[in-house]
């Protein structure tokens, strides 16, 4: 069983996390897979109002979350507040110590940056805030769909998170699994 935890918060961009959520969840339809447990996490187990007014009840609070193999942090305007949230930062740092992969989509990169997890690494984000990322002296900003730096992966905006999720499916389960998922969702990868 692989646990994939997706952090959500008020103002999170929906497709940043719903696209990868769908991609990872489809893996459970393959007969030969032992399963992926995909779940959402928030600071508190309270209704989260996302960027475009989608309301989501997280599966777990930070305190209740099981061990996480892949951590995904979405972006959205809510990241402006959350990137300075010490409780969130502590959860991300604690989880990153044992996770196989720590990832961000779009402006979720700033939560990783503020936690110091990108120091000395290349990273990317949504094209509209690349200059903001370039202000972090310890991070080398690059303009790519997604960037793999060891076990930390950052992706550009919105649909780039789906590319990153498909990449992780391939890393974790092989190229046939990635092809299967891409075909299932009719996604050109």
Instruction: Give me the pLDDT at residue 78, please.
Output: 97
User: What is the per-residue pLDDT across 149-161, written as a single tens digit (0 to 9) for each?
Assistant: 999 999 999 899 9
CB count in 10 Å sphere of residue 44: 11
Q: In this predicted structure, what is the pLDDT of residue 106?
A: 96
pLDDT of residue 34: 63
Which residues are catalytic, by number?
106
- Tens digit of each residue's pLDDT (9 = 90 or more) over 128-147: 999 999 999 999 999 999 99
Ranges under pLDDT 70 in the chain = 31-34, 189
Report residue 32: phi and psi, to 5°.
-90, 5
Asked if 110 contacts 73 with a C-beta cutoff of 8 angstroms, the reply is no
Name the pTM for this structure. Answer: 0.95
């Amino acid at each position: 069983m692989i646990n994939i935890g997706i952090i959500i918060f008020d103002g999170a961009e929906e497709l940043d996390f719903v696209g990868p959520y769908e991609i990872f969840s489809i893996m459970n339809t393959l007969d030969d897979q032992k399963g992926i447990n995909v779940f959402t996490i928030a600071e508190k187990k309270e209704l989260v109002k996302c960027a475009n007014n989608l309301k989501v009840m997280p599966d777990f609070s930070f305190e209740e979350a099981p061990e996480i193999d892949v951590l995904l942090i979405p972006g959205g305007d809510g990241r402006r507040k959350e990137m300075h949230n010490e409780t969130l930062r502590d959860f991300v740092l604690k989880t990153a110590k044992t996770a196989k992969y720590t990832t961000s989509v779009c402006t979720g990169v700033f939560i990783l940056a503020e936690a110091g997890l990108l120091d000395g690494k290349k990273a990317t984000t949504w094209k509209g805030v690349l200059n903001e990322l370039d202000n972090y002296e310890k991070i080398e900003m690059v303009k790519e769909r997604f960037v793999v730096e060891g076990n930390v992966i950052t992706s550009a905006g919105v649909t780039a998170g789906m590319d990153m999720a498909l990449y992780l499916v391939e890393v974790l389960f092989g190229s046939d699994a990635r092809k299967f998922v891409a075909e299932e969702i009719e996604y050109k990868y």
